């Protein structure tokens, strides 16, 4: 513990932020310390600990002093820990929060989890040994500035110095950004826990919160991106956004579907729709949610999931029976077909052609011949030649 | 002697107390709801301020992005769930990943005929950067993995197969690869091909097992046969492992 020193919490010029985890307690060997609730920050050069309450209370430890790490998993009433073994303190050390300690190791206790990820980052960072490669540029420029060169920056050194400065400012901006981000996340965390208690209450007694409020609550969850724990399965209860989206989809895709054989995979739909929008893109989940509403809204296109898990949109006129008939006819005309051949004949993608053949096979109209060369389908003669 | 609450009176008392608790609970629930609305407003303004200052960082700095995503994940929030959420509307995180998703689909489709819908993550990244003119440090592998994860809901067409620390294959066609298939691909990772002999020596597989795995990959167009090697053995090449840059040299 005596290897720690006080810190201002800012990263040095060449120091790179790696990861951080909140809810971490420090132990000096086996003993508890006063540093019992804070955030541990790992950078390319240092291990820092910042108190949750007193944000100015920051202590740091140079990674050069870390000998090796040990993991100790959590158990009953015991949080997961990382044991950090340290080398002897250097004689030139600045005084820190603990002047002397008998222990040659500290323990980080992770009360909020995250130790696996942190341990991984920590080991990687130790292996990279980035603290050893401090660029030589900095002392050089500093030395020149001291020897009183003109403030005018010219030549390559000037350019270098300018680049250096730029890096410094971006680095600073980034660390400010990370700090802001942490604050934001603390707020978000509160929201999440609150939403969970409300969700529990809703499930406990459906009547206590009105329909109106439930809808409002759901829209909150949607805006925050919290997975809806109450009504994940029931789609289409007054979700205006998705309804509107479903209508748009149907309007935009109907013609396109006609042009390309009446059926389209959902990934294709996703590309086309987002390419057409350009801004305010849809998320894959948005798309699925909208697709689930197509049938309810009685729109001319429909959503379907094949047995293989492939999802498609198809025209209403393009019913399964229709497709099977058509496919069987194609196979009969050509005596045999692979998915690739059918794809060329009909002008659809190979994935879809394969699905067509498979569903026709399932309906008993086709038989398969499976070889290394390809999967071929023949008309089912068991049906016709008795 | 201490008096114990027993008998009818005690039960009545207990019931009364419980009813009171219930009422109180409902009251608290209502308060919670109000509080949530308030907090949401506060959060929104916080987020707005954050967006004003750091919107560009999110878009430009992959490290910051991955940190952002990890923090969101740790508190149980998915900023990519909907394009209509705060995160997307204010920070533009959504658009970044969704657009990446679109580009990933396009790259995979364009290379599908050659590699059977199987390519390395690095190769995907290279191709994507080259075709879209993004700068190199702009898109990290982490970004790609997140974008692909989102695409997964669009049917089982997209999956990521871990090959080892930091190395991934991206599968863009439907169909589950079994452990055996993945192992074959792993064996081929260094050389670009496998032979029956390699599988036998390295994995102690029976010929039958190797056949099963290789035949599947052949059928799916993910492996190609080469009978012309001087050793006289059949080589099974995995085109998904050739990167475009290597193929050119």
Q: Which of A284, A285, A344, A353 to mutate to test the interface with B (most CBs of B within 10 A)?
A: A284
At residue A136, does pLDDT exceed 50? no
Kindly report which listed range (A346-355, B75-84, B163-172, B191-200) carries the lowest average pLDDT score: B75-84
What's the gap in Å between the CA of A92 and the closest CA on chain B?
A: 34
CB spacing of A180 vs B32 below 8 angstroms: no
The encoded tokens of residue A84 equal 């950090």
Q: How far apart are CA B114 and CA B187, in angstroms?
A: 20
Candidate from A176, A209, A287 with C-beta closest to B29: A209
pLDDT at A116: 81
Summarised one tens digit per residue, pLDDT across range B92-112 is 778 888 888 888 888 888 887
Distance from CA of A345 to the nearest CA of B (A): 17
pLDDT tens-digit series, residues A306-328? 887 888 888 888 778 888 888 89
- Residues of chain A contacting residue B211, judged by C-beta atoms under 8 Å apart: none
Q: What is the 3-state secondary structure (H, E, C) of chain B?
A: CCCCCCHHHHHHHHHHHHHHHHHHHHHHHHHHHHHHHHHHHHHHHHHHHHHHHHHHHHHHCHHHHHHHHHHHHHCCCCCCCCCCCHHHHHHCHHHHHHHHHHHHHHHHHHHHHHHCCEEEHHHHHHHHHHHHCCCHHHCCHHHHHHHHHHHCCCCCCCEEEEEECCEEEEECCCCCCCHHHHHHHHHHCCCCEECHHHHHHHHCCCHHHHHHHHHHHHHCCCCEEECCCCCCCCEEECHHHCCHHHHHC
Q: Do residue B95 and residue A282 have CB atoms under 8 angstroms apart?
A: no
Residue among B50, B64, B85 minimizing CB distance to A223: B85
Does residue A19 carry a pLDDT above 80?
A: yes
With contact defined as beta carbons under 8 Å apart, do B188 and B206 qualify? Answer: no
Nearest-Cα distance to chain A for B243, in Å, is: 24
**Which chain A residues have a beta carbon less than 8 Å from that of B75?**
185, 188-189, 192
A140 — pLDDT class (breaks 50, 70, 90): very low
| Residues in chain A closer than 8 A to B36 (CB atoms) | 191, 194-195, 198, 217, 220
| Residues in chain A closer than 8 A to B150 (CB atoms) | 283-285
pLDDT digits (tens, 9 = 90+) for B160-181: 888 877 788 888 887 777 888 8
Which positions ≥6 away from A101 have C-beta within 8 Å? Answer: A1, A2, A28, A29
Q: pTM for the complete prediction?
A: 0.59
Q: Residue with structure tokens 């709801």?
A: B33
Kindly report the nearest CA distance between residue B46 and chain A, in angstroms: 7
pLDDT over 70 percentage in chain A: 81
| Cβ-based contacts under 8 A for chains A and B | 194
Query: What's the rounded mean pLDDT across residues A147-163?
Result: 65
- CA-nearest residue to B149 within chain A is A284
Condensed to tens digits (0 to 9), the pLDDT of residues A220-243 reads 676 666 665 444 334 444 467 788
The answer on pLDDT for A283 being more than 60 is yes
At residue A137 the predicted structure's pLDDT band, cuts being 50, 70 and 90, is very low
ipTM of the complex: 0.71
Bridge partners (DSSP) listed for residue A315: A301
Is B19 an 8 Å CB contact of chain A?
no
| Closest-CA distance of chain A to residue B97, Å | 9
Q: Which two tokens stand for residue A359?
A: 């569903």
The phi-psi region of residue A152 (left if phi > 0; otherwise alpha if psi is between -120 and 50; otherwise beta) is: beta
Per-residue pLDDT band at A377 (split at 50, 70, 90): very high
Band (pLDDT 50/70/90 cuts) for residue A150 is very low
Confirm or reject contact between B31 and chain A (CB < 8 A): no
Judged by CB atoms closer than 8 Å, whether chains meet at B67 and A267 is answered as no
Kindly state whether B75 is in contact with chain A, defined as any CB-CB distance less than 8 angstroms: yes
Please tell me the predicted confidence (pLDDT) of residue A144.
Answer: 43
Nearest CA in chain A to B45: A184
Cβ pair B105:A271 closer than 8 A: yes
The C-alpha atoms of residue A288 and residue A233 are separated, in whole angstroms, by 13
Is B136 a residue whose pLDDT tops 60?
A: no
User: Rounded distance, CA B19 to CA A269, Å?
Assistant: 54
Whether A188 and B99 lie within 8 Å, measured CB to CB: no
Instruction: Determine the pLDDT at residue A145.
Output: 42
Residue in A176, A195, A282 nearest the CB of B98: A282
Q: Does residue A373 or residue B209 have the better pLDDT?
A: B209
pLDDT at B95: 81
Q: What pLDDT, on the 0 to 100 scale, is given for residue A236?
A: 42
Q: Provide mean pLDDT across the span A192-215.
A: 66
| Residue A190 distance to chain B (closest CA, Å) | 9
Q: Which residue in the set B67, B76, B98 is minimally distant from A178, CB to CB?
A: B67
- Amino acid A153: pLDDT: 55
Maximum mean pLDDT: which of A152-156, A222-226, A265-269: A265-269
* Chain B residues inside the 8 Å CB shell of A174: 57, 61, 63-64
Residue percentage of chain A with pLDDT more than 90: 1
Residue from the list B150, B155, B219 with its beta carbon closest to the beta carbon of A310: B155
Section A37-61 average pLDDT: 84
Q: How sure is the predictor about A76, in pLDDT bands with cuts at 50, 70 and 90? A: low
Distance, in angstroms, between B73 CA and closest chain A CA? 10
Using the beta-carbon criterion (under 8 Å), do B40 and A351 form an inter-chain contact?
Answer: no
What would the mean pLDDT of B53-73 be, rounded to a whole number? 77
> B219 and chain A: CB distance < 8 Å anywhere?
yes
Nearest-by-Cβ selection for A225 from B54, B78, B153: B78
Residue-wise pLDDT tens digits, A90-100: 766 666 777 77
Q: Which of residues 169-208 of B touch A (CB under 8 A)?
A: 173-175
Mean pLDDT value across residues A322-343: 88
Chain A contact present for B87, CB below 8 A: yes
């Amino acid at each position: 513990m005596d290897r720690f020193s006080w810190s201002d919490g800012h990263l040095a010029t060449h120091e790179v932020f790696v990861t951080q985890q909140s809810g971490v307690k420090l132990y000096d060997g086996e003993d508890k310390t006063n540093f019992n609730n804070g955030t541990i920050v790992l950078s390319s050069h240092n291990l820092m600990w910042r108190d949750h309450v007193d944000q100015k209370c920051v202590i740091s430890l140079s990674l050069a002093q870390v000998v090796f790490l040990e993991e100790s998993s959590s158990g009953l009433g015991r949080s997961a820990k990382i044991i950090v073994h340290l080398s002897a303190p250097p004689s030139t050390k600045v005084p820190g929060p603990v002047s002397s300690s008998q222990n040659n190791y500290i323990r980080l206790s992770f009360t909020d989890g995250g130790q696996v990820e942190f341990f991984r980052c920590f080991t990687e960072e130790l292996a990279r040994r980035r603290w050893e490669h401090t660029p030589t540029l900095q002392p050089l420029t500093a030395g020149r500035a001291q020897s009183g060169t003109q403030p005018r920056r010219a030549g390559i050194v000037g350019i270098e110095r300018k680049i250096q400065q730029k890096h410094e400012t971006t680095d600073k901006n980034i660390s400010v950004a990370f700090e802001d981000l942490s604050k934001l996340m603390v707020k978000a965390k509160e929201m999440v826990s609150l939403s969970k208690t409300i969700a529990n209450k809703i499930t406990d007694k459906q009547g206590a919160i009105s329909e109106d409020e439930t809808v409002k609550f759901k829209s909150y969850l949607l805006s925050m991106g919290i997975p809806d724990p109450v009504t994940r399965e029931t789609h289409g209860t007054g979700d205006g956004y998705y309804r509107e989206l479903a209508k748009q989809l149907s309007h935009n895709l109907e013609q396109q579907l006609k042009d390309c054989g009446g059926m389209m995979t959902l990934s294709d739909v996703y590309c086309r729709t987002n390419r057409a929008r350009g801004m305010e893109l849809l998320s894959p989940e948005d798309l699925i949610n909208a697709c689930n509403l197509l049938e309810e809204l009685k729109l001319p296109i429909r959503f379907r999931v094949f047995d293989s898990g492939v999802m498609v949109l198809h025209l209403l006129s393009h019913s399964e029976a229709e497709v099977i008939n058509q496919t069987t006819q194609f196979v009969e005309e050509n005596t045999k077909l692979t998915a690739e051949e059918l794809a060329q004949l009909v002008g659809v993608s190979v994935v879809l052609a394969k699905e067509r053949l498979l569903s026709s096979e399932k309906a008993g109209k086709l038989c398969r011949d499976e070889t290394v060369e390809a999967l071929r389908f023949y008309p089912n003669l068991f049906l016709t030649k008795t | 002697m201490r008096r114990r609450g027993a008998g009818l009176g005690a039960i009545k008392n207990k019931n009364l107390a419980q009813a009171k608790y219930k009422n109180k609970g409902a009251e608290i629930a209502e308060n919670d709801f109000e509080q949530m609305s308030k907090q949401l407003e506060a959060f929104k303004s916080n987020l707005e301020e954050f967006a004003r200052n750091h919107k560009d960082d999110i878009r430009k700095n992959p490290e910051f992005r991955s940190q952002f995503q990890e923090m969101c994940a740790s508190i149980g929030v998915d900023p990519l769930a909907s394009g209509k959420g705060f995160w997307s509307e204010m920070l533009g995180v959504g658009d970044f990943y969704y657009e990446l998703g679109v580009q990933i689909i396009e790259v995979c489709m364009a290379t599908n005929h050659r590699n059977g819908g199987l390519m390395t993550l690095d190769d995907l990244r290279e191709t994507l950067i080259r075709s879209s003119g993004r700068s190199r440090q702009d898109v990290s592998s982490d970004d790609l993995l997140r974008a692909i994860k989102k695409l997964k809901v669009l049917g089982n067409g997209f999956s990521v197969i871990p090959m080892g620390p930091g190395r991934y294959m991206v599968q863009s066609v439907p169909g589950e690869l079994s452990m055996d298939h993945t192992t074959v691909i792993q064996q081929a990772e260094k050389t670009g091909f496998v032979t029956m002999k390699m599988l036998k020596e390295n994995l102690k597989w029976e010929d039958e097992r190797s056949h099963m795995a290789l035949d599947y990959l052949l059928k799916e167009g993910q492996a190609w046969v080469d009978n012309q090697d001087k050793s006289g053995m059949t080589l099974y090449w995995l085109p998904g492992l050739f990167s475009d840059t290597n193929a050119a040299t």
